[in-house]
Amino acid sequence: MEPILTTKDLSRHFGGVLAVNLVSLSVYNRQVHSIIGPNGAGKTTLINVITGRLGASDGQVLYQGRDITHRPVHERVRLGISRTFQITSIFMGLSVQENVRIAVQSHLGGSWSIFKARSGLSEVNAKTQAILERVGLTDVLRQPANSLAHGDQRVLEVAIALAGDPKVLLLDEPAAGMSPAETDQISELISALGKEMAVVLVEHDMEVVMKISEHITVLHQGGVIARGTPREIASDKQVRDAYLGGDQWAPLTSV
Amino acid sequence: MRALKDNPAGKLILLGVLVCLVILPFVLPNRFYVRLVNEIMIYALLAMSLDVLLGYTGLLSFMHNAYLGIGAYSTGLFLMHAWSGSVWLAMLAGVLFTLAVALPVGWVQVRTGGLAFALLTLAFGMMFYTVAWKWYPVTGGDDGLMGLPQPTLSLLGINLASSGNSTAMYLFTLGVVLVCFLFTWRVIHSPLGAVLEAIRENEERASFVGINVRRYKLVGWMLACGLAGVAGSLYILYRGYAGPGVMGAFEGAGVLMMVLLGGMGSLWGPLVGAAIFIFMKDFLSSLTQDWEIFVGVIVILLVLFLPRGVAGLPDLLRRAKAE
Amino acid sequence: MGWIATTVDIILNSLVLGGIFLIMGVGLNIIYGLNRVMNLAHGALYALGAYFGFTMVALGLNYFLALLLAPVVVGVAGLIIERLLISPMRKRHMIYTLILTYGLMFVIDGLIKFFWGQETRFIQLPEFMQQTVSVGPASYPVFRLVILIGIAAVVAALMLLLGRTRLGINMRAASSIPEMVSACGINVRRVQISAFVLGCILAGTAGMLAGPLFTVFALMGHDILISSFVVVVIGGLGSLRGAVVAALLVGFVQTLAEFFVTDMAMVMVYMLMALVLVFKPLGILGEGKFE
């Protein structure tokens, strides 16, 4: 099977610092592919380059075989690449419903109709409702996003990312700041999503990573030091050294 | 503040104001006040257009009045040198010219972030002011455009009145401003307006839901400048004169203040703000020569204590009552 | 012979103008880098420096002493402004602070008109500065050379401050990573306030230096403000090095344009700005912040 997204020797430097160093990886459809590594390994920078938030200093990003390395952000999104951020990035002043609705509208079209009411786009409304039902946010539809609890905001962000019918969904620490119960819920959601599309997950919570990933890439100081299944990664000496036996590693030793 | 369409009291007030405005020139004996309200309506349109830019798209402009000026001058020059017969044609020419100027400027400006955008509006605004001030052969320099012809106002071929008739001009202005308000209201509440709001709320997230932020910022900009151009045409038709003063930095601050006073992000707020500002200016400038200090002080106080302006008062009062 | 003299004139004038822009641009960026505020009242503070200096000299103070003191007074004004107006706005959206400094500009401008009137003022220069001296084939006014020396002194002092003193180093660190800096036990707030005051002192210095250049008049702050923004935008928001390069570039272009087109010289400058932005939205050195 052909990978849906690949990076070929992707690099990004800031001044003298090589944040992403010749990273090559392949992401397959209907798979949860996790990217892990100690702090400062370059995970978020990698996501930023793949999604276009940052430019690549070298190398390529290929999506469905096409080179998208220099395409602007909004074009990549339209092609089917969606993401969430480590620090929640949603439309705080708008209602929960509008947060998702505008994303759906952007995807399905209708943004140029100036003589219709916003609520007049029936297809958009239906899809918005469907997504909100799926993530379980229907009871807070009309509330402004900034009034939601942190965990709900993170879920809302995933909902927004889903609005574009993405084929590749990149999630940057979706469970950050969540309670164990919320983390379980979102893990289930991500796992389910991983059966429909390609999911790239950056996470620090090793339990989550080990439980739901099919494939793991380990980064250290910007470069790939290991790839494999959760079991393979758990027993990889290089990976263990990279984490230097920190707390993050504890759950893995029990796999 | 609840949306207008859900607010029956609000709708009634709006209707009441409209009725008052329509009968005003027939009941007020003092022509001065008719002209003052005429001026308020024009600036209300300008302030509303700035709100489209600032309150809805999230872009700050320090000299939005530059586009009123461009609209005024181009309309005037059209009347003087091209075709002095039709008010509508002159207005169309003025608005089209304003849009033609706004396009390249906007194109350059939207390539930058919010802060640089604001600084650029100041720089470009001063550039246009300088051109109006120094290009004597065309704009009349410091003296401005004078001796404007007064075409007849006609609708569908029927000659209604001369544009020199202040009552006729007043009603004409009211009609045009009303149409512009309804049009803008429609656009803001349309899917396009939703895109602009998303950009205002979170530009980055907007691009990450597939919105071409630069393109839509340009759309918001063009809309705002086009409306300002309409205001400019109305201005010179009502005044019969346009000078570089209308394009200066201080007037630019005035428009911004109207939006702040009234409350940004609510289409009717700037209309109220314009009225308050013009009455205040009229009052203060008769008291003292240094009234610009007061304008500055009021801007500072507004920003510190009442950033959401008059439109934010109901919420403020509600919260105060709850305590 | 004529054109050599003209060239010398143009070069020297570019340096003087560019130097003033430099001090203003760097001051703006220092304030911006640490306080996230683009100080629209900067031009008014510049004017304040010139007017304070004028009054000091008119009261009998030595010109050079006034040159040192006037900026200090502006710095004190800056401190008051920071405490009363800027600090309370720290948590609010930047757009509001921007508008606030815009209002402040009008207040200061108005106060200047109120206290000093609308007529143009002339700073009484010491005898030797009122003469000209030969620079090669050209005959150049001494006061302009003094301004050049003054600018050089300010630049040197700044480099010393930012490079060698603890405050300066703290400032540079705090402008890139404030969180890290406070973790190191440095009082970030004090550094931010100092940066604001420093910026105001620089504005006052530029004003005092420019007094004899442009004469002291009520609206002197406006033109310089716009030019300073052009410099900051071309050089990249927050970039000190960019501001230096941009200042000299704009100084040169404006001087050249004034020589050829006089009235529309500023239009040339705006075209330059538009051009730079089209190709390098982050400033000529690409070091600007995108905000």
Binning pLDDT at 50, 70 and 90, where does residue A255 land?
Answer: very low
Q: Which chains touch A (3 or more CB pairs under 8 A)?
A: B
> Which pLDDT score is estimated for C179?
65
Residue C85 near chain B (CB below 8 Å)? yes
Residue with tokens 């609010």: C92
Token couple for A188: 């289930």
Query: Above 70 in pLDDT, residue C37?
Result: yes
Give the helix/strand (H/E) hosting A8.
strand A5-14
Chain segment A35-79, per-residue pLDDT in tens? 999 887 889 999 999 999 999 999 999 999 999 999 999 999 999
- Torsion angles phi and psi, residue A222, rounded to 5: 90, -10
Residue B203 near chain A (CB below 8 Å)? no
Contact state of B298 with C99 under an 8 Å Cβ cutoff: no
Contact state of B297 with C237 under an 8 Å Cβ cutoff: no
Taking CA–CA distances from B119, the nearest residue in chain C reads C229
Token couple for B231: 């205001």
Chain segment B49-71, per-residue pLDDT in tens? 999 999 999 999 999 999 999 99
Q: Give the number of other CB atoms < 10 A from CB of residue C41.
A: 28
Contact state of B198 with A94 under an 8 Å Cβ cutoff: yes
Query: Above 60 in pLDDT, residue A251?
Result: no
DSSP code per residue over A186-243: HHHHHHHHTTTSEEEEE-S-HHHHHHH-SEEEEEETTEEEEEE-HHHHHT-HHHHHHH
> Is this model's pTM higher than 0.80 or not?
yes
Chain segment A178-222, per-residue pLDDT in tens? 999 999 999 999 999 999 999 999 998 888 999 999 999 999 888
> Which pLDDT score is estimated for B2?
45
Q: Which of A77, A101, A115 minimises the CB distance to B208? A: A77
Contact state of C38 with B115 under an 8 Å Cβ cutoff: yes
Task: For residues A191 and B155, give the distance between their C-alpha atoms in angstroms, rounded to a whole number.
Answer: 66
Kindly calculate the radius of gyration of chain C based on its CA atoms and give it in whole angstroms: 19
Task: For residues B201 and B203, give the distance between their C-alpha atoms in angstroms, rounded to a whole number.
Answer: 7
